[in-house]
Amino acid sequence: MKSNRKCLLQPNLVILTILMLGLMSRGFSVCASEEFPGAPRVQADGETWEGKWQDDGHRYAVFRGIPYAAPPTGELRWQAPARRTPEPGVHMAKSNGSACIQTQRLVTWERNIYKAYGLDETLVPDLMNIGEDCLHLNIWTPKIGDSEKLPVFVWIYGGSNRSGWAHQVHYEGASLAKRGVVSVFINYRVGVFGWMSHPALSKESTDGVSGNYGILDQLAALEWVKRNISQFGGDPDKVTIAGESAGGLNVSVLLASTLAKGLYKRAIIQSSGFGNLRNLEANETLGTKIMAHLGVDGTGDAHQTLNDMRTLGAEEVLIASNSVRGSAGYGPVIDGQVLRGPILELYGQQHDDPVEVVIGVNAHEFSLFLPQRYTVNEGGMPTEEDYTRALAFFAGSDEDKQKLREILKTEPDRFRSMERLSTAGHFLCRSNVAARQLVGSGHNVYYYYFTHARSGQNQWMGAHHAAVMPYVFDTGNHVLPSHDAASFRTSPTA
């Protein structure tokens, strides 16, 4: 398959839900499923799960809170996910499982977006159901049974790898189900429980590594999908993995990892920075500091150290981690096993099993981050000192800095100049490099550039980070009301 260089070099606004590189079953008609007059039931990994039918003019089944692995608690904390032991009986899959351990950070983010749109921030509720027993997934499907062979869409949420959950307000599969797609939304461990390395944990591991538990969770979920999705009407050989922000970063890691081979056919990477990831040694150092903060110095017996780490209260660990790390993000670790090297370097290596990939960014990714990252005056403008500091970060020489200043003169003010510079440096340029590396190594790559700004928002936001999300799952109008939502809907003919 030849690479689509035209799409790569000439990015256009796309409607992501429908693009998916041929994902949709065109001409699919959602059946009323009279053969299932009762609640839908499915066998998965030796257990029976009962979901619910939903009908809004189209009938589809929804299964919520199905565990894809054993609870990562007790001895399984900071371990690769283990297979769940099947239990007899019919299990209800009608309510969401717990979100993985985290703070209300992402709730605050969503409320700030509501405020910026002029909406009531109290419409965003606190995240209430949180726990370590969180490795669950939700499924939306228009058909039940292993004869359907429908395409499958697996969503990996964002949230700086510190936050996020499978049942966030945008994450609904109704629109995809109506178009003949089985969608799967997975939970995975975040923050200190998903990404912490420690010498004692590495020593315990048969591979001599630690820290990529969040990615290992995602791999376990994909393996579950491979084994079971046919019972939900899906085709295990037509799986697309997708994610936005940190979810996009995690998809980019899965794309680079040999451990994910054969678990998906296509990948969608939205608004990823393809981050500068820590190596194992650096991540172990951070983990050692977190445990020392909790009184576990790691100098004694290895078994006792591990026992001390695993008997700490989850809330206690979360607070200590935030105290030690501050605002520093979490994420995948270059450990030589899950991830053998820097992502972009691995993308440049030739592949004998190329896949189809969508990569793209929003036009103003950094607009919501500027007030958090830089000093702004009363008028909301970054200071000249911060502007100079940003130029120095992205440009190596004085000549390059001057070139950037000349380019950015076209912007109306310093805020927009800083936003454009930061969006390019953190998102746009890295995504372009990733796309070109993948094309060069034999993958078929489609590139998009999302420019749409919803009406009713503060104009400085533009096409901000996460602005594309209401259109991915067609949830725009009831999540973020706007008079243009009806005219900017996903369409099977796009």
pLDDT of 349? 87
Cα separation, 9 vs 5, in Å, equals 6
Average pLDDT over residues 439-466: 87
> Percentage of the chain with pLDDT > 90?
64
Cα 285 to Cα 194, 298, 319: the distances in Å are 16, 12, 18
Nearest CA among 332, 76, 73, 313 for reference residue 211:
332
Average pLDDT over residues 330-340: 96
pLDDT of 352? 76
In this prediction, residue 477 has a pLDDT band, given cuts at 50, 70 and 90, of low
Number of residues written out for the chain: 494
What's this model's pTM, rounded to 2 decimal places? 0.90
Cα separation, 455 vs 458, in Å, equals 8
In this prediction, residue 387 has a pLDDT band, given cuts at 50, 70 and 90, of confident
Which has the higher per-residue pLDDT, 117 or 46? 46
Most confident of 74-83, 366-375, 419-428, 467-476: 74-83
Give per-residue pLDDT as tens, 187-198.
Answer: 999 999 999 999
Average pLDDT over residues 130-147: 94
Average pLDDT over residues 290-317: 93
E-assigned strands of 220-264? 234-244
Which has the higher per-residue pLDDT, 480 or 276? 276
Q: Does position 442 have pLDDT exceeding 50, yes or no?
A: yes
Please state, rounded to an integer, the average pLDDT across all residues of the chain: 87
In this prediction, residue 273 has a pLDDT band, given cuts at 50, 70 and 90, of confident
Q: Does position 452 have pLDDT exceeding 80, yes or no?
A: yes
Which has the higher per-residue pLDDT, 51 or 467? 51
Three-class SS of residue 273?
coil
pLDDT of 478? 59
pLDDT of 385? 85
In this prediction, residue 481 has a pLDDT band, given cuts at 50, 70 and 90, of low
pLDDT of 300? 78
pLDDT of 489? 42
Which has the higher per-residue pLDDT, 37 or 359? 359
Report strand pairing: 59-67 vs 136-141: antiparallel
Which has the higher per-residue pLDDT, 44 or 383? 44
pLDDT of 377? 64
Long-range CB contact pairs, 473-479, < 8 A, 24+: 473/17, 473/170, 473/171, 473/172, 473/173, 473/175, 473/176, 474/17, 474/174, 474/175, 475/169, 475/170, 475/172, 475/175, 479/169, 479/170
Cα separation, 447 vs 439, in Å, equals 11
Which has the higher per-residue pLDDT, 116 or 465? 465
Q: Does position 398 have pLDDT exceeding 70, yes or no?
A: yes
Average pLDDT over residues 354-371: 92
Which has the higher per-residue pLDDT, 62 or 11? 62
Average pLDDT over residues 319-344: 91
Cα separation, 190 vs 289, in Å, equals 18
